[in-house]
Copies of this chain bind each other. A is one copy, B any other.
Amino acid sequence: MAVEDFETGAPTASRFRRSVPDGDTVERNVCRDCGFVAYENPKLVVGSVVRAGSAILLCRRAIEPRRGYWTLPAGYLELGETPEDGARREAFEEAGAEIRLHALLAVYSVPRISQVQLIYRAELAGPFAAGPESLEVRLFEPDELPWSELAFPSVEWALEHEQAVRSGTAPAPFVNPAGETGERFRGRPAGFGPAQPPEPA
């Protein structure tokens, strides 16, 4: 569970001064005490719009910022996780919910806080219960969604976008070939033939 929150954006602590490390060309944060270079990376948030029939599952935030407002189950991707695993983990941590993940719905960015969000479509696969970061978790029918009490603009976008694709086919980019983790070539023969069906895993 990440205590961090998905809109805090963790500004630079004052222990750091800005300077350009050897071999680099950009100012980084260098520790005043020990010289450690803290490369700051954009943060990757993973989450999902979870359906149960026509209803949508939302969590009421137990933590700042935006305590008391409604959000999607979402949070920071952890080290060593795929985005899909991260989205499932967050649904379990924040809403006690097992979900079946469908395709990627949206890629949003919030450049001011250096954040990129990957939001999936998903389906509730069992019971749910508020986790430690949620005051309450509940299902909302489409006509009762709490539009004026949403925690973040991207939650609003995701609800609108999910509704827009709901009756049609969800557009989605490609993802890793089945069973591949990016560590080996598949030995594709030379030449560039027509697109082939994915290989069995």
**Chain A residues proximal to chain B, CB less than 8 Å:** 1-4, 10, 15, 23-26, 31, 33-34, 36, 38-44, 76-83, 85, 103-112, 114-116, 118, 142-143, 145, 147-148, 150, 152-154, 156-157, 159-161, 163-164, 171-177, 180-186, 188-192, 195-196
Contact = CB atoms under 8 A, between A and B. Distances in A.
Given A41-B44, A42-B79, A106-B174, 13 more contacts: A2-B26, A3-B23, A33-B36, A41-B76, A42-B77, A44-B44, A81-B114, A108-B175, A108-B182, A112-B182, A160-B196, A164-B195, A173-B173
21 contacts: A3-B24, A26-B78, A31-B34, A33-B36, A36-B36, A41-B76, A41-B79, A44-B116, A80-B111, A80-B112, A82-B109, A83-B109, A106-B174, A108-B175, A108-B176, A115-B182, A143-B191, A154-B182, A156-B185, A156-B186, A157-B177
Given A4-B39, A36-B31, A107 B109 contact: no
B41 A114 contact: no
A80 B150 contact: no
In the A-B complex, the 10 residue pairs with the smallest Cβ-Cβ separation, listed nearest first, are: A110-B182, A164-B195, A106-B174, A161-B174, A33-B34, A142-B192, A171-B171, A79-B114, A82-B109, A42-B77
A175 B42 contact: no
A32 to B, nearest CB: 9
Contacts of A150: 185
A174 B40 CA distance: 27
A147 B112 contact: no
Nearest to A170: B173
Q: Number of copies of this chain in the oligomer?
A: 2
A43 B78 CA distance: 10
A49 B198 CA distance: 20
Contacts of A148: 190
Contacts of A34: 15, 31, 33-34, 36
